[in-house]
Amino acid sequence: MVKDTGKTLRADTYRTVNAPQSVEVEEDASGLPLAVKMPAVSNSSVKTPPRRIIKKPMRQVVSGIDERWRIDDEWWRREPVSRLYYSVRLASGHRLVLYKDLVNNCWYRQSY
Amino acid sequence: MRILCVLLPHFPLRCEILRNPGIDARQVIIIYGTGSRKLVLDYSPELTELQRDMPLQQALARYDKAEIVQADMPCYWSTFNRILDGLEEKSPLVEGLELGTAYLGIDGLQLIYPKDENLIKEVIEVLPKTFIPQIGIAEGKFPACLAALHSPPSGHKIFKGDISSFLKELPCDILPLSAKGKSRLHDFGINTLGQLAVFPEGPLQSQFGPEGRRIQELARGNDAMPVYPRLWEEIIEGSTLLPSVTVSLETIILTVESLLSPVFTRLAPAGMGIHTMAMWTRSWNSENWERSIQFKEPVMDMHTAISRIRRIMENFPQPGPIEEVGVRVTRLGYPLGRQKSLFREVRGRDNLMEDIRQLELRQGNTLVFQLKEVEPWSRIPERRYALTPTGL
């Protein structure tokens, strides 16, 4: 029989799926994304990467914007949601969904 | 129906003599165990006061110098089956339900053996020389058995025509009836077959039911019971001597696994499984343990078979330290199609949940999550789904 550790297992164990990840985005004068600096390690569970192989964020130029939409929600809360989403095409050919949080002016990537 | 009966008196003793000729000159009592009781199975002919199924204490009270030998039933049946195999070459109808007694249906064999003596000679040639057969031929099994009983050792007796005059003086105790039934017959003043044969049918049946009618027919020399030939069956048999005596269940189970493994390998290509098997062990003091194991459905894999064998071995402990283990697969079968249970998935899920819970308790944190819809319609992507612990 496994000994009971006495630890409560079920509290705080909900995890969000598809949580937004912070990214660095270079904007043009009109606020549209020009380039994205992708984090080197995207897996958030890796807390301390080995020192010797730390990579700098990779800069990727946005070659085009395919789509753009805005979400304004939960305006009745203290922290309302206001986002401007961009579905962009990178120079490498990859597609990416970014959004600019209009409340704190930060950029995030998130699958939609 | 003409039937030939072969009686092999003191069959277990003769089997022991086959293995160890030295005991022929000694006084021997062969015993077997039922639960904690030890009963007499067979004995040397000179121990005339003994009877089969007599408790060992009573037997030793009469012959305290006699040598005790544990019965080796697998060996006796193996020897008897070999004899029956040989008899089947003489007649296709051979019944051998009781150790040491065989019945042969001999209707139609007159073309091959014009005289009964020719057939008897052929039958005697099949039997090992150690056995001293008594052979009887008559119409019906019971008269044939009586003929064999009254034949001289290594001789024969043939009943032809009406045998009522022979039967009428015989005691009722020779009837295939329980001891209680025989006692009741004596209580009614019926001591001989002749008395039974002329007894009114009605009162007899009111006291003994259908059995009353049957024993009266037997007393009149009529026996319509047919010969039940042996069913053909493929038997896979194997045994192994352990390197050292053991009482460990795990060691015995491992040995059984090694014995059953080639059986499953052999059956797998044919898509067959084990339906019935027997497992036996022999302890260091030659005591035997045997259990017949029947599976509701043929087992196709080792895991299922072993789990059942383990349960049986736990419920029926070994008589002592084991030195030999054997298995005998007596019936094979194909797996049956079956309808799946509505709740099977639920049980499977319950088992999985329990395993995960145990794992998480051991590790101290949540390891396995399940994806749940929270607000799948939400415009905010991270609100649509969540990972929750499996137990919630």
Q: Does residue B225 lie in a domain region?
A: no
Cα B29 to the center of its chain, rounded Å:
22
Q: Does residue B357 lie in a domain region?
A: yes
Tokens of B210: 């259908």
How distant is the Cα of B355 from the closest Cα of chain A, in angstroms?
11
Residues B143 and B279 in one domain: no
pLDDT value of position A42: 45
Q: pLDDT (tens digit, 9 = 90+) per residue, B144-196?
A: 999 999 999 888 999 888 888 888 888 888 888 888 888 888 998 999 999 99
Phi and psi at residue B122, to the nearest 5°: -65, -40
Q: What percent of chain B has pLDDT over 90?
A: 23
Report long-range pairs for B154-157 (Cβ below 8 Å, ≥24 apart): B154/B124, B156/B116, B156/B117, B156/B120
B261 pLDDT band, cuts 50/70/90, is confident
Quick one: closest CA in B to A14, which residue? B388
Least trusted range by pLDDT, from A14-18, B83-87, B275-279, B343-347? B343-347
The verdict on B387 touching A (C-beta cutoff 8 Å) is yes
pLDDT value of position A20: 93
Contact A17 B360 (CB under 8 A): no
Here the CATH number for the domain that contains residue B196 is 1.10.150.20
pLDDT value of position B343: 64
Query: Does position A45 have pLDDT exceeding 50, yes or no?
Result: no
pLDDT value of position A44: 44
Query: Does position A47 have pLDDT exceeding 50, yes or no?
Result: no
pLDDT value of position B344: 61
Q: What percent of chain B has pLDDT over 70?
A: 96
Contact A7 B364 (CB under 8 A): yes
Beta bridge partners of A27: A33
pLDDT value of position A52: 54
Tokens of B247: 């009482």
Range of the domain at B212: 164-219
Quick one: closest CA in B to A16, which residue? B386
Residue type, B122: E
Residue range B309-326: mean pLDDT, rounded: 88
Q: pLDDT (tens digit, 9 = 90+) per residue, B100-115?
A: 999 999 988 888 888 8
Cβ atoms of A86 and A97 within 8 Å: the answer is yes
Residues B109 and B174 in one domain: no
Q: Does residue B205 lie in a domain region?
A: yes
Residues B197 and B103 in one domain: no
How distant is the Cα of B304 from the closest Cα of chain A, in angstroms?
24
Report B:316-375 residues touching A (Cβ under 8 A).
Answer: 358, 360-362, 364-366, 369, 371
Residues B51 and B6 in one domain: yes
Residues 6+ apart with CB under 8 A from B75: B15, B19
Residues B247 and B148 in one domain: no
Tokens of B67: 């040598």
Q: Give me the residue label for tokens 């001289």.
A: B152
DSSP letter, residue B291: E
Residues B40 and B93 in one domain: yes
Pick from A7, A17, A74 the residue to mutate for testing the B interface (most B CBs within 10 Å).
A17
Cα A77 to the center of its chain, rounded Å:
22
pLDDT value of position B294: 87
Higher pLDDT, A55 or B286: B286
Cβ atoms of B99 and B30 within 8 Å: the answer is no
Q: pLDDT (tens digit, 9 = 90+) per residue, B46-72?
A: 998 888 888 999 999 999 889 999 888
Residues B15 and B71 in one domain: yes
Name the residue among A5, A19, A74 with its Cβ closest to that of B364: A5
Q: pLDDT (tens digit, 9 = 90+) per residue, B19-41?
A: 888 888 889 999 987 767 889 99
pLDDT value of position B284: 78
- Measured between alpha carbons, how far is residue B205 from residues B124, B142, B220 in Å? 41, 20, 15
Residues B64, B305: Cα–Cα separation, whole Å: 44
Report strand pairing: A58-73 vs A81-90.
antiparallel
Residues 6+ apart with CB under 8 A from B129: none
Residues B292 and B357 in one domain: no
pLDDT value of position A43: 47
Contact A9 B365 (CB under 8 A): yes
pLDDT value of position A40: 59
Here the CATH number for the domain that contains residue B241 is 3.30.1490.100
Q: pLDDT (tens digit, 9 = 90+) per residue, A20-40?
A: 999 999 999 999 999 998 775
Residues B175, B142: Cα–Cα separation, whole Å: 9
How distant is the Cα of A99 from the closest Cα of chain B, in angstroms?
11
Residues B361 and B324 in one domain: no
Residues B145 and B215 in one domain: no
Query: Does position A46 have pLDDT exceeding 70, yes or no?
Result: no
Residues B326 and B255 in one domain: yes
Q: Does residue B352 lie in a domain region?
A: yes
Beta bridge partners of B373: B385
Of A40, A16, A18, A43, nearest in space to A97 by CA: A18
pLDDT value of position B104: 93
DSSP one-letter string for B176-238:
S--HHHHHHHHHTT--BHHHHHTS-HHHHHHHHTHHHHHHHHHHTT---PPP-PPPP---EEE
Beta bridge partners of B70: B31
B231 pLDDT band, cuts 50/70/90, is confident
- Angle CA B346–B348–B350, to nearest 5: 70
Phi and psi at residue B369, to the nearest 5°: -120, 160
Residues B137, B5: Cα–Cα separation, whole Å: 6
Q: Which residues in chain B touch residue A73, judged by CB atoms under 8 angstroms apart?
A: 379-380
pTM of the shown model = 0.56
Here the CATH number for the domain that contains residue B6 is 3.30.70.270
Least trusted range by pLDDT, from B65-79, B82-96, B345-359? B345-359
If one counts the domains in chain B, the total is 4
B361 pLDDT band, cuts 50/70/90, is confident
Q: Which residues in chain A touch residue B365, judged by CB atoms under 8 angstroms apart?
A: 7, 9
B338 pLDDT band, cuts 50/70/90, is low
Phi and psi at residue B300, to the nearest 5°: -105, -10
pLDDT value of position A77: 83
Contact A17 B386 (CB under 8 A): yes
Residues B153 and B171 in one domain: no
A66 pLDDT band, cuts 50/70/90, is very high
Residue range B240-260: mean pLDDT, rounded: 86
Residue range B348-353: mean pLDDT, rounded: 76
